[in-house]
Amino acid sequence: MFKPSWAAVLVASCCFTVQAEESIEHISVYANRTPTTTSEVLASVTVLDRADIVERQAQDLPALLAQLPGVNLSRDGGRGQNSGLYVRGGNSGHTLVLIDGVRSGSATLGYKALAMLPLEFIERIEVIRGPRAAWYGADALSGVIAITTRKVDGAELNANVGSFGQAGADVSLSQQVGELNLSATAGYSRADGFNVRKDLDPDRDGYNQRFAKLAADYQTSLGLWQAQFDINSGFYQFDTAWGTEDQADTLNRSYLVGWQHQLGQWQHQAQLSRVLDDDTPYGPVSRSPFVTERDEFSYQTSSAITENLNWLAGVNWYSENVARSGVNYVTDGRINRALFSGVNFKQGSVQLDGSVRRDLTDEYGGNNTWQLAAGYWFTDAWQLRASRGAAFKAPTFNDLYYPGFSNPELAPETTLSDEIAIHYRVANGSIQLAWFENDVDNLIQYDSVSNQTLNIEQAKISGVELVIEVDVAGIQQSFAYSWIDTENTLTGQRLVRRPENTLNWRAAHSWDKLSAYITADYQSNTYQGEFASSEYLGGFTLWGVGTSYQFSSALTIRAKLDNLFDKKYQSNASYTTAGVNFGLSLSYRPQ
């Protein structure tokens, strides 16, 4: 059971105190497309900076995200293997992933595979729960995960080892030359892994990857100019009952040029990018490449029209193409054009947000999305907010044209979402209680009876989130509870792999040079589907501990144990998961 963490949260909830000084607050960059303190964002947002990411010592990005409110994880094994991420009960493809503001992910798959995106590459993560299609267009039905890659000030070296042959190292450097700042990051990571399906190949399933980034910022009288190049390549191994392919080569490459300029009261921003996503499964007798490319251009401008009213508007254009594949697609490219605009009004205790977007896609014509939100501050500590938003997702190239199960008659998925939340903030912590409901029309799912992808008439997702963060006597505690009810209204069944209850608890304390933490993560049983090897999987609780010690201002060593009590569990039927495992890492930053 989960009694220790329940006790912890009961203690925490009684220990809020009002202090003279306000706590330092995170800034949300992507919730409103402009930097805004999280207390003024009328949405549920979690922000992790680099220090937060490092202190949590997660094994990979999916494991880190699964510790956050409203996020559930389904794994096909361990690090490097495929994982499904469900924000507020939506499909994996219902969460838009932005990397440095650029739409990311495979156009054939329909979402960004996060298992091979190294944490060593990441400076900042922002998770916005709830629809944001009025700002970002298709795919932002359940939320947005916005990732900012690293730009180190000075030099940094990191190295790590762990269970199952895990080992990695990365180095980052930067140099200021007048108004020009140059930075670079390069790294390597690998693991032998473990056998993820014991009923298939009796082998270990590991991964190997290399990654690098080059970036330059140049400040001129005409604004800040930015350019960067990222590459992440490698391979991962997996087990499947569908054929002989049991490995995959991966390559992700992106080019970005950006410009920002403040001209009077007007802030201008433009960005041009190209992203390549290559995932090529192969085996002894076959090879199946899936290579997609996306070119994107965005421009936005914003201004304070009055002391209380801010306005933002912009344009967005992107082209998606299947550059190479092992099968023939009837259509292998499409273009999306969009206009968006929004306002923010704040006076006294009242705040109002509104945004609207018009997308025009080659295959589906126009789609209109919108978002309305209102907030009211009863006191400096208490806030009530409510929002409603519409979103859509176009079918992927695989949904429409992949031979064998595709359906060219599919309609886009559309959603209408509501949220009501109350938030209490004081200097040593905060409490947020949120209710949400998401009605999905034309939900796209594979039907095993007809062997075809179909639109479900309707699905309904509703839930409650409770998030508590508090510092009591130097012990920083965070607690997140989510209750999610999902239903395919055609069959009456729950949507697969969405546990009804999840709990995440973390407590950390720092002494002079030593810090330590303990975590507990629980999820209830999950429906896996009528034809899965196990229709339901049981619930489980995973415990973890970790510590760090700062030998000097330049050198820090960290250690952790995950799945402390060696719990045997599954989050996806047939796939095994890691037992108790350790990690050891070192960070060196010369002063």
**Amino acid, single-letter form, for residue 431:** I
Domain of residue 564, residue span: 3-588
Asked if pLDDT for residue 327 goes beyond 70, the answer is yes
Asked if pLDDT for residue 400 goes beyond 70, the answer is yes
Report pLDDT digits (tens) over 13-29: 445 554 433 456 789 99
pLDDT at 12: 44
Find the radius of gyration of the CA atoms of the chain: 23
Instruction: Say how far apart CA 87 and CA 69 lie, in whole Å.
Output: 9
Instruction: Say how far apart CA 120 and CA 113 lie, in whole Å.
Output: 16
Mean pLDDT computed over 276-285: 93
Instruction: Say how far apart CA 474 and CA 471 lie, in whole Å.
Output: 6
pLDDT at 201: 82
pLDDT at 458: 85
Asked if pLDDT for residue 254 goes beyond 50, the answer is yes
pLDDT at 449: 77
Q: Which of the two residues, 556 and 152, has the higher pLDDT score? A: 556
- Name the pTM for this structure: 0.95
The pair of structure tokens assigned to 219 is 């400040």
**Amino acid, single-letter form, for residue 529:** G
Asked if pLDDT for residue 31 goes beyond 70, the answer is yes
Report pLDDT digits (tens) over 515-542: 999 999 999 999 998 777 788 999 999 9
pLDDT at 6: 42
The CATH number linked to 188 is: 2.40.170.20
The pair of structure tokens assigned to 564 is 């402390």
Report pLDDT digits (tens) over 439-494: 999 988 777 777 888 888 788 999 999 999 999 989 999 999 999 999 988 888 89
355 neighbors 318 (Cβ within 8 angstroms): no
pLDDT at 22: 46
Can you tell me which residue has the tokens 């303990």? 518
- Judged by average pLDDT, the poorest of 249-253, 323-327, 367-371, 420-424 is 323-327
Domain count along the chain:
1
- Judged by average pLDDT, the poorest of 103-107, 284-288, 489-493 is 489-493
Asked if pLDDT for residue 293 goes beyond 60, the answer is yes
Mean of all residue pLDDT scores within the chain: 92
CA proximity to 413, closest of 113, 111, 97: 111
H or E segment and range at residue 116: none
Report pLDDT digits (tens) over 111-149: 898 999 999 999 999 999 999 999 999 999 999 999 999
- DSSP string for residues in 44-108: EEEEE-HHHHHHHT-SSHHHHHTTSTTEEEEESSSTTS-EEEEETT--GGGEEEEETTEEES-TT
